[in-house]
Structure 1
Amino acid sequence: MIEHHIPISIDISLNRKNQGGSETIRRLGFGVNITMNQHKTIELEEGWDFMQRGITKLKRILEGLPESQFSSEEYMMLYTTIYNMCTQKPPHDYSQQLYEKYKEAFEEYINSTVLPSLREKHDEFMLRELVKRWANHKVLVRWLSRFFHYLDRYFIARRSLPALNEVGLACFRDLVYEELKDKVRDAVIALIDQEREGEQIDRALLKNVLDIFVEIGMGQMIYYENDFEDDMLKDSAAYYSRKASNWIVEDSCPDYMLKKVQNELLVVYSTQLLDKEHSGCRVLLRDDKVEDLSRMYRLFHKIPKGLEPVANIFKQHVTAEGTALVQQAEDAASNKAENALGSQEQVFVRKVIELHDKYMAYVNDCFANHTLFHKALKEAFEVFCNKNVSGFSSAELLASFCDNILKKGGSEKLSDEAIEDTLDKVVKLLAYISDKDLYRRILQLSRRLLFDKSANDDHERIILSKLKQQCGGQFTSKMEGMVTDLTLARENQTHFEEYLENNSNANPGIDLTVTVLTTGFWPTYKSSDLSLPAEMVKCVEVFKEFYQTKTKHRKLTWMYSLGTCNINGKFEPKTIELMVGTYQAAALLLFNASDRLSYSEIKTQLNLADDDLVRLLQSLSCAKYKILNKEPHSKTVSPNDYFEFNPKFTDRMRRIRIPLPPVDERKKVVEDVDKDRRYAIDASIVRIMKSRKVLGHQQLVMECVEQLSRMFKPDFKAIKKRIEDLITRDYLERDKENPNLFRYLA
């Protein structure tokens, strides 16, 4: 069977010139504009002869005979011929005649070609021929319906006649199906009996034939039920009745009764029982019929492979419910600002947790903790847990949800037990997510620890413990290092304060707290050569001297972008304590020595990049708290601006926090994750090749995917790119005779 694919979704506008002038025909639902000039009437015989040639060509293609494919021009001419013959003025409007000839074309082909080929074959060979002829017939119907499309849109619609597709399929049903249905049914039942006796049969063929019984009803099951199912059930009863005479002799009474009941009541009707419209497995799941589901499990558990269809329905049901939650969250988030994780996403994660709790209980209680149902639940959750919601991945949503629970002032007001239970459930969901490394990156543990936003250190340790148990020690090693760093940093601060007390010359002049971190554990932070004010320079020097008393083998790199300062702003109304970042503090302290500074003067004195300078000046002069006055007045900062201290500033609070404008950290996180993945793929490839020495491309890719799948799902193209990079860096080489074979270079 050959099917040709011609692009038919094109818009056509036809211009027809008649004696009375030019008439524009309405646009049909089809992408190119084609103008046809028609000067003469097409008679029925002439037009049909032309159509016959096209139909004959199509039949030859279906029969596998030598024939060229349809060109778009041929298709358009056939379509246009029908169109013209249907739009000519009476008595030359041949719509009715063409509708009849459409049906005759099928009848002629079936009687001359299809039926003879089927009548000469029997049993399984006849079934194979029937499947082939039915598939070809559907292709023929589809193509002829395209040629005669104008009839469907106007002539048939106006007269409420059966559609072209329906007419074409009805011809096969009336001429082929009605003649052969009894033979087909008997041949199918014979195959089923053969399988019952332990013989191997072609199940795909069986399915394709049964599909014909269904499809021939055009949406109704009446043909399947009347012409096949009733007889199949009677034959099944008769078959097992015959087998019973052997079982009653060979088996004990209880064994016989068990077999008889299982086969007569379950095996024969298993599909029908599971799919019953008002009481089948899907309905029991939908209506939470826990006891009925437990009973269904106990019964189908006794049938060989009886649980597989039940588990499959369970998987489909859970997938559908989870996908519906994703859609609900999408709809709710569509009205919100972009690039913002809000309460609706928190609600989504909570609902996914509840869904998992519900169906995990089903697996444990209704389905006796069976591995088939654990597998079904896992595969269902993997489907929708890896979908994006409002542009955010599930890894981001879970990380944000955890951050909301663990940080100070989070919206989740839960007891310690409830927090631990919730974290446990989130970590279980993480098992279904492919981008675990992205979750780790954006868990925001570093921000909570650095800026003292963590509500409870114990909760931080709990989630790390659960993540380590779920994902392995490698997954949590950096995060555990962060927690250890903060503990050591607190001890270090105590030692620093003791050092200051014991060394009268070492006086920073202001209260100073320094947090020393280990580079490898923390995200990469932006560093700069900020020119600190004199007060801050002295603090840095004092701490350096202290640190050198502890170790001379470590280098301190100061991350001023992470620092915070509390400074007193002496305004005319009152003094207000300002909580600002180090960059902001450095800028404000410049105004102790100058009344008015230009943008370029501030930039020169601070030695900051433009993007950092614009952000800090924006926060101090254009945002909520206008500590500086800016000229000219505007909501944005430009290099031509001038700044002055605002002595009249006041606020009802004695202490205010002045935040910097937010930056898109998400982009940086994604870039960092991509970089980490490149390193991970490189390491995996080298590790594999070092142990194997020589390996084929396909096997290397598969082993690499297997190694990395616990953290993320590597892209095949990315692996190929990393292999090429390692070749250029002389870690690997291609075999000279086989380019798909790689060798490790020590």
Structure 2
Amino acid sequence: MSLKPKIVEFVDVWPRLRCIAESVITLSKVERAVWNTSFSDVYTLCVAQPEPMADRLYTETKHFLEKHVQEMLAQKVLSELDAANANKSLSKPDLLQRYYTTWMEYSQGIKYLHQLYIYLNQQHIKKQKITDTESFYGNVSGDAAEQMEIGELGLDIWRLYMVEYLATELVRHVLEGIAADRASNGTLDHHRVQIINGVIHSFVEVQDYKKSGSLKLYQDLFEGPMLEASGAYYTDEANKLLQRCTVSQYMQEVIRILEYESRRAQKFLHVSSLAKLRKQCEEKFINDRLGFIYSECREMVSEERRQDLRNMYIVLKPIPDHLKSELIQTFLEHIKNEGLETVSALKGENIHISFVENMLKVHQKYQELIGDVFENDSLFLSALDKACASVINRRPSERVPCRSAEYVARYCDTLLKKSKTCEAEIDQKLTNNITIFKYIEDKDVYQKFYSRLLAKRLIHEQSQSMDAEEGMINRLKQACGYEFTNKLHRMFTDISVSTDLNNKFNTHLKDTNVELGINLSIKVLQAGAWPLGSTQVIPFAVPQEFEKSIKMFEDYYHKLFSGRKLTWLHHMCHGELKLSHLKKSYIVTMQTYQMAIILLFETCDSLSCREIQNTLQLNDETFQKHMQPMIESKLLNASSENLAGETRIDLNMEYTNKRTKFKISSALQKETPQEVEHTINSVDEDRKLFLQAAIVRIMKARKVLKHNALIQEVLSLSKVSFTPNIAMIKKCVESLIDKQYIERTANSGDEYSYMA
């Protein structure tokens, strides 16, 4: 075949090409040789001499397609319909079936025809399509702007002469088909489903070639009426369900209908309609019936009816968050009430253990419920957090402080003290304990109690495991940052350094051949790191048995560290004393003052309280605290309950004990209510200092700041450790004004400026 343009007559080529086009569009058989020749005919007309005939070919093809579609409409779709309308006795033919069959033939045929006209499409029509630049400058004729590729042209002609003519009837029949599928619970014949699906998708495919607005025909012609009809159906069904169903049954039915409607939408509709139909279904069954759905919400939550709650969540999940707020709030209140009921009646010495473990049970119970029922929805997890925080930080009254921080700290203390519990179990409980710790608002109160209890464990060597201690501190550091645990780490460092110092001191004694007569272990602690309370020296005449040892250590220490001052905290010391005056020997662990009292009886069997106090120079309070446990343990006998004055204290020569090694507990190791109150008061003082430092830091950076802005910045800085009340912040501001760190600006009563 020659590709050279040549002179041809249109009337000689077109009839042959038209005949082939008719065979192609009707899916008739076309010989391969004839098909190949037809490509040449299209090419020949497009490059004909002396003038190309592409425009004429386009026009004739358009007329051919218009006539063909009109004939298909009359002969294949409407002929039997008209006959049935004229003769009522004839059965009415299926419009959807006839339209679908015709469309399937035509849509396939137009694809083949589009391939046949590929040269016209590529070299003539595409080149004449409007570009953005040409459109801007207006360099294109009107005819060129209207030309479409043959495949697009065929679809547009189908839209004009077939779809728009049958639109009303087609949509009506399609909606009836969908209604029939609903009535049969989705069991409509597969072939019928295929027809309805094909008809609906023809509204999309007929404009699929468009780069924008390709769904406009589908949306205007079908989607709008479909959504309207579906909405009316949903409203009617919802009304029927309300008349015969309980809330529980209604939700089950709604879930079933939503599932069926989703399947139906996937079966019939274009994907763009799925969300719209789902929304329509949710609107009519859920949003418009919220009052009914929520009518039993409180009972379902209070009785924890999991299946009903799961159904309610599934039903309410798609709607906006503010519409779910009633379920979330009811759930929150339920957790809060159970939490308060669990912890409000706790009493006894182990209240801290019961408090933490009961709150953990509540938290774990509802965390599991949220995972099982509410799919770990963040809104419900947030409600759990709010409820737990509310219970844990509740104050019994305005004047009574919240003791949760203290309880959680004491719970850790119980776990970390020496016990028979295995390390793996302790580690797991400490990890769980952090869950409760994170809800505590007054973390500085927790820090204060925890550091005091840690100090006692380290000083009295009561820790189960140093690894467990460090593990807990690392958990706290992860939760609150390095600053929160800085002093705790320094306490550990002191213990480590003290161990090394004792080893060096013992080596020094060996090198100098000095015998102390006692085994001495000393802990040197930094005053700034340890919460030891007042370091004021309590009057005490050290027994001569200890004097040499103390003097030797002081001399050694001052040689190593010149300029440092040692303050002996005898009230925090303890030791082991061997009793040899009884029928059998005993080794007793007791506090230093108690050891001093016992040592007085080495030369006598009886002393008065006044003699003991005067000899040891103990004040009344210290004497009473340490003498009372000695009397209770029956190592000593008193002639009167009043341990003062001339009351005689006798050595109990008949003392017996099943254990040869035991401990006399000191009242100092148990915190008194006064000490707890002192700890809480010290927290208030620390808070004032923190707030003042924060205000100065903020004002130094900002120079000038409004009152409300300053309050907000202070709250932001302090929220990690505690939430201060506004009154405390105002007092700190006034204090700093008095100290001339800041001042009120001259022209504004609610603005402060930094005084450099």
Taking structure 1 as the reference length, what is the TM-score of the superposition?
Answer: 0.59
Please tell me the residue identity of whatever aligns with 1:261. Answer: C
Q: Deviations over 1:129-187 (max 9, x none)?
A: xxxxxxxxxxxxxxxxxxxxxxxxxxxxxxxxxxxxxxxxxxxxxxxxxxxxxxxxxxx
Contact 1:388–1:394 (Cα < 8 Å) also in 2: no
317, 325, 328: which one aligns with 1:308: 325
> CA RMSD of the aligned region, Å?
2.9
Please tell me the residue identity of whatever aligns with 1:258. Answer: R
Counterpart for residue 694 of structure 2 = 684
Distance across 1 between alignment mates of 2:606 and 2:429:
54
Counterpart for residue 609 of structure 1 = 619
Counterpart for residue 284 of structure 2 = 264
Quote how far apart the aligned CAs of 1:282 are.
5.2
Quote how far apart the aligned CAs of 1:581 are.
0.8
Counterpart for residue 495 of structure 2 = 486
Counterpart for residue 373 of structure 1 = 380
Task: Give the 3-state SS of the residue equivalent to 2:455 in structure 1.
Answer: helix
Counterparts in 2 of 1:118-197, with a 5 A limit? none
Counterparts in 2 of 1:219-238, with a 5 A limit? none
Please tell me the residue identity of whatever aligns with 2:486. Answer: S
Contact 2:300–2:309 (Cα < 8 Å) also in 1: no
Counterpart for residue 641 of structure 1 = 647
Contact 2:301–2:309 (Cα < 8 Å) also in 1: yes
Relative to 1, partners in 2 of residues 1:553 and 1:609: Cα closer, same or farther, differing over 3 Å? Answer: same
Please tell me the residue identity of whatever aligns with 2:295. Answer: K
Relative to 1, partners in 2 of residues 1:577 and 1:685: Cα closer, same or farther, differing over 3 Å? Answer: same
Task: Give the 3-state SS of the residue equivalent to 1:409 in structure 2.
Answer: coil
Contact 1:567–1:579 (Cα < 8 Å) also in 2: yes
Quote how far apart the aligned CAs of 1:550 are.
2.9
* 2:323 maps to 1:349: no
Counterparts in 2 of 1:231-380, with a 5 A limit? 253-273=273-293, 275-277=294-296, 280=297, 283=300, 286-289=303-306, 293-305=309-321, 306-327=323-344, 330=345, 332-333=346-347, 336=348, 341-342=349-350, 344-380=351-387
Distance across 2 between alignment mates of 1:611 and 1:736:
55
* Identity across the alignment (%): 29
Contact 1:468–1:475 (Cα < 8 Å) also in 2: yes
Relative to 1, partners in 2 of residues 1:686 and 1:601: Cα closer, same or farther, differing over 3 Å? Answer: farther
* 2:423 maps to 1:416: yes
Quote how far apart the aligned CAs of 1:263 are.
0.8
Please tell me the residue identity of whatever aligns with 2:528. Answer: G
548, 553, 577: which one aligns with 1:543: 553
Larger of the two Rg values belongs to structure: 2
Quote how far apart the aligned CAs of 1:298 are.
4.0
Distance across 1 between alignment mates of 2:378 and 2:461:
44
Counterpart for residue 444 of structure 2 = 437
Relative to 1, partners in 2 of residues 1:348 and 1:572: Cα closer, same or farther, differing over 3 Å? Answer: closer
Quote how far apart the aligned CAs of 1:572 are.
4.7
Quote how far apart the aligned CAs of 1:537 are.
1.4
Quote how far apart the aligned CAs of 1:447 are.
1.5
More helix by share: 2
Please tell me the residue identity of whatever aligns with 1:513. Answer: S
Q: Deviations over 1:302-355 (max 9, x none)?
A: 22334433322322222222122133xx1x52xx5xxxx32x542332121122
Aligned residues: 477
Please tell me the residue identity of whatever aligns with 1:430. Answer: F
Quote how far apart the aligned CAs of 1:469 are.
0.9
500, 509, 521: which one aligns with 1:513: 521
Task: Give the 3-state SS of the residue equivalent to 2:705 in structure 1.
Answer: strand
Contact 1:625–1:658 (Cα < 8 Å) also in 2: no
Please tell me the residue identity of whatever aligns with 1:687. Answer: R
Distance across 2 between alignment mates of 1:352 and 1:427:
12
Relative to 1, partners in 2 of residues 1:367 and 1:640: Cα closer, same or farther, differing over 3 Å? Answer: same
Q: Deviations over 1:718-743 (max 9, x none)?
A: 22222222233332333345443333
Q: Deviations over 1:395-448 (max 9, x none)?
A: 1221222222221127xx3x4343323222211221211121222222222222
Contact 1:319–1:380 (Cα < 8 Å) also in 2: yes
Quote how far apart the aligned CAs of 1:695 are.
2.6
Task: Give the 3-state SS of the residue equivalent to 2:538 in structure 1.
Answer: coil
Distance across 2 between alignment mates of 1:635 and 1:735:
67
Relative to 1, partners in 2 of residues 1:592 and 1:706: Cα closer, same or farther, differing over 3 Å? Answer: same
Relative to 1, partners in 2 of residues 1:744 and 1:592: Cα closer, same or farther, differing over 3 Å? Answer: farther
Quote how far apart the aligned CAs of 1:745 are.
2.6
Contact 1:345–1:397 (Cα < 8 Å) also in 2: yes
Distance across 2 between alignment mates of 1:618 and 1:588:
13
Quote how far apart the aligned CAs of 1:648 are.
4.2
Please tell me the residue identity of whatever aligns with 1:495. Answer: K
Counterpart for residue 204 of structure 2 = none
Counterpart for residue 735 of structure 2 = 725
650, 655, 663: which one aligns with 1:657: 663
Counterpart for residue 402 of structure 1 = 412
Distance across 2 between alignment mates of 1:729 and 1:642:
57
Counterpart for residue 464 of structure 2 = 455
Task: Give the 3-state SS of the residue equivalent to 1:449 in structure 2.
Answer: helix
Q: Deviations over 1:216-272 (max 9, x none)?
A: xxxxxxxxxxxxxxxxxxxxxxxxxxxxxxxx9999543442122111111111232
Contact 2:586–2:660 (Cα < 8 Å) also in 1: yes
Relative to 1, partners in 2 of residues 1:663 and 1:473: Cα closer, same or farther, differing over 3 Å? Answer: closer
Distance across 2 between alignment mates of 1:637 and 1:685:
52
Counterpart for residue 673 of structure 1 = 683
Quote how far apart the aligned CAs of 1:455 are.
1.1
Relative to 1, partners in 2 of residues 1:606 and 1:695: Cα closer, same or farther, differing over 3 Å? Answer: farther
* 2:531 maps to 1:523: yes
Task: Give the 3-state SS of the residue equivalent to 2:440 in structure 1.
Answer: coil
Distance across 2 between alignment mates of 1:353 and 1:595:
55
Quote how far apart the aligned CAs of 1:482 are.
1.7
Relative to 1, partners in 2 of residues 1:727 and 1:537: Cα closer, same or farther, differing over 3 Å? Answer: farther
Distance across 1 between alignment mates of 2:429 and 2:578:
42
Contact 2:737–2:743 (Cα < 8 Å) also in 1: yes
Counterpart for residue 137 of structure 1 = none
Q: Deviations over 1:36-87 (max 9, x none)?
A: xxxxxxxxxxxxxxxxxxxxxxxxxxxxxxxxxxxxxxxxxxxxxxxxxxxx
Distance across 1 between alignment mates of 2:553 and 2:640:
41
Distance across 2 between alignment mates of 1:646 and 1:255:
90
Relative to 1, partners in 2 of residues 1:656 and 1:737: Cα closer, same or farther, differing over 3 Å? Answer: same
Distance across 1 between alignment mates of 2:693 and 2:314:
49
Distance across 2 between alignment mates of 1:597 and 1:669:
37
Contact 2:332–2:383 (Cα < 8 Å) also in 1: yes
Distance across 1 between alignment mates of 2:725 and 2:272:
59
Please tell me the residue identity of whatever aligns with 1:359. Answer: Y
Contact 2:711–2:726 (Cα < 8 Å) also in 1: yes
Distance across 2 between alignment mates of 1:430 and 1:721:
29
Distance across 1 between alignment mates of 2:357 and 2:531:
28
722, 740, 747: which one aligns with 1:712: 722
Distance across 2 between alignment mates of 1:663 and 1:380:
31
The runs of 5 or more residues in structure 2 that have no matched partner are 1-267
Task: Give the 3-state SS of the residue equivalent to 1:269 in structure 2.
Answer: helix
